[in-house]
Homo-oligomer: A and B are copies of this chain.
Amino acid sequence: MMISEKMIKLAQNNSAIRAMFEEGKRLAALYGRENVFDFSLGNPNFPAPQALKTALLDILNGEDSVYVHGYMSNAGYESVRSAVADALNKKHGTAFTLDNIIMSVGAAGALNVVLKTLLSPGDEVIVLKPYFVDYGNYVANYDGVLVPVLTDPATFQPDAEKIAAAVTPKTKVLLLNSPNNPTGVIYTEESIRKVAAVLEARQKEYGTSIFIVSDEPYRELAYDGCEVPYLTKYYRNTIVCYSWSKSLSLPGERIGYLAIPSECDDYKLVFDGAGIATRICGFINAPSLMQLAVARCLGETTDITPYDENRKLLYKGLTDCGFTCVFPQGAFYMWMKTPVDDKEFMNAAKKHNILVVPGASFGCAGYVRIAYCTAKSTIARALPAFKKLAQEYGLC
């Protein structure tokens, strides 16, 4: 075999997803881009805040090129790490310093760095169904074993009892994501406390360290003033993976950070290990100009009003047709129950020029994910098509 055995399988799986994108292109060519309702991708359709542009221009015009574009410590500029720590402390009452922050190539980079740092082959990583599809690939990168555990089927909150039953002496990580992709659910303080209690008990029982790795690209996208609990305050062995992709609408720039609290087990080994992992995984460091820019935008977030309007419009439209959806509290995804098999539904939706992702891609059949980070007009024009689809299944 000419390429890696692992990659052969991945290439085959990938083709299914690619086929959907190709289908989108085909439909757009046939019916016009504006008549294709593409809800498949989590790509923010809104510009970055003006403050980001101002920061970038000020840095380029005011700072030394060697400083702006040069190497720094693999963990990132010390000034940037300090600024991030200060901002977190102000917001969440934590006590971080620069020695708790490692700048990363987005949250995906941060997750890979953490898993590279923590996992030995065979170590188990619990994820909560439904979960972001690439978690499985990230865990496989380090020969970890993915252990998917169902959330509460009514609320999609973590189910502490099911988690307790899944923890073994090999469990190294519980990988969480709240606000959640794909459900839009925010894990409550009560859920978090229960999960923390379970992990504390199991750590004691087994004499192990179990890390919560909290994937937080959607932290700032919380509606109706809903609070997103900051997990390091509830559980000592928490590592936060943050990204500005969604909060500043710059997913293409790959900029985020890891927060590793001093209180976590083997803090120094973990922190130093993550710095080394940043280097040897090939990231070297987070992009330099963008590090300096986000440090000047720590109080800024993209205006979430358009997402909020989309959320309400789409939820009302879909439920009015008779569909059953989770009313999202955060992120920009609608999780909708399908009246038939989710892949069959996806194909039926395609006939109405609607592109959605089947729940099976998130380890949870019987649902589809609808990404509403689109123009509002796309949703308005798609609703009649959703209605026809609902009628086909006798929902209205």
Q: Which among A26-34, A41-49, A346-354, A355-363 touches the partner chain? A: A41-49
Given contacts A60-B53, A254-B287, contact A280 B10 (CB under 8 A): yes
A266 closest partner in B (C-beta): B2
Is the pair B11, A272 in contact by a Cβ cutoff of 8 Å?
yes
With known contacts A4-B118, A47-B65, A14–B290 Cβ distance under 8 A:
no
Taking a contact as CB atoms under 8 Å apart, the answer to whether A284 and B108 are in contact is yes
Chain A positions 52 through 86: 1 when the CB is less than 8 Å from some CB of chain B, otherwise 0: 11001100110011101111100000000000000
Contacting pair A1 B65 (CB below 8 A): no
Q: Is the CB of A66 within 8 A of B249?
A: yes
The A278-308 residues at the B interface (CB cut-off 8 A) are 279-290
Interface size on A, as a range, is 35 or more
- Hey, which chain B residues are within 8 Å of A250, CB to CB? 69-70, 288
A276 and B14 contact, Cβ closer than 8 Å, known pairs A56-B60, A252-B288: yes
Residues in chain B near residue A4, CB distance under 8 A: 116-120, 142, 273
Scan A243-256; emit 1 where CB is below 8 A from any B CB, else 0: 00000011111110
Minimum distance in angstroms from A170 CB to a CB of chain B: 12
Give the CA-CA distance A4 to B115 in the complex, in Å.
Answer: 9
Contact A209 B287 (CB under 8 A): no
A327 in contact (CB, < 8 A): no
* B47-A64 in contact (CB<8A): yes
Asked whether A138 is an interface residue with its Cβ less than 8 Å from the other chain, the reply is yes
A113 to chain B, nearest CB (A): 8
- B2 x A269 contact (CB < 8 A): yes
Interface 1/0s, chain A 1-31, versus B by CB < 8 A?
1111111101100100000000000000000
A109 within 8 A of B: yes
Q: How far is the CB of A169 from chain B (nearest CB, A)?
A: 12
A69 touches B276 (CB 8 A): no
Point out the residue from B10, B47, B281 that lies within 8 Å of A276, measured CB to CB.
B10
Instruction: Decide yes or no whether A277 CB sits under 8 A from chain B.
Output: yes
Q: Are B64 and A2 in contact (CB under 8 A)?
A: no
Interface: A328 (CB within 8 A): no
Contact present for B249 and A65 (CB under 8 Å): yes
Q: Within 8 Å CB of A289, what residues of B?
A: 56, 252-253, 289-290
A45: chain B residues within 8 A (beta carbon): 66
Question: What residues of B have a CB within 8 angstroms of the CB of A113 in the complex?
Answer: 282
> Does A134 belong to the interface (CB within 8 Å)?
yes
Closest to A77 in B: B252
A118 cross-chain contacts in B, Cβ below 8 A: 2-4
Residue of B nearest to A254 (CB): B287
- Assuming the contacts A53-B60, A53-B65, A137-B280, asked whether A3 and B70 have C-beta atoms less than 8 A apart, the reply is no
**Which residues of B lie under 8 Å from residue A46 when comparing CB positions?**
66
Instruction: Kindly name the residue among A5, A14, A138 whose own CB sees the greatest number of chain B CB atoms within 10 A.
Output: A14
Chain B nearest CB from A275 CB (Å) reads 8
* Residues in chain B near residue A57, CB distance under 8 A: 57, 60-61
Measured in the bound complex, the distance between the Cα atoms of B137 and A395 in whole Å is: 56
Contact of A112 with B by CB under 8 A? yes
Please, how many angstroms separate the alpha-carbon atoms of A284 and B255 in the complex? 11
- On chain B, the residues within 8 Å of A270 by CB distance are 2-3
A265 within 8 Å of B (CB atoms)? yes
Top 7 A-B pairs, shortest CB-CB distance: A252-B288, A112-B282, A47-B65, A69-B250, A137-B280, A2-B266, A108-B282
The contact sample of 18 A-B pairs, CB cut-off 8 A, is: A1-B120, A2-B209, A2-B269, A3-B266, A5-B120, A7-B276, A11-B269, A11-B273, A41-B71, A43-B71, A46-B66, A47-B64, A65-B249, A69-B252, A71-B251, A113-B282, A252-B287, A282-B283
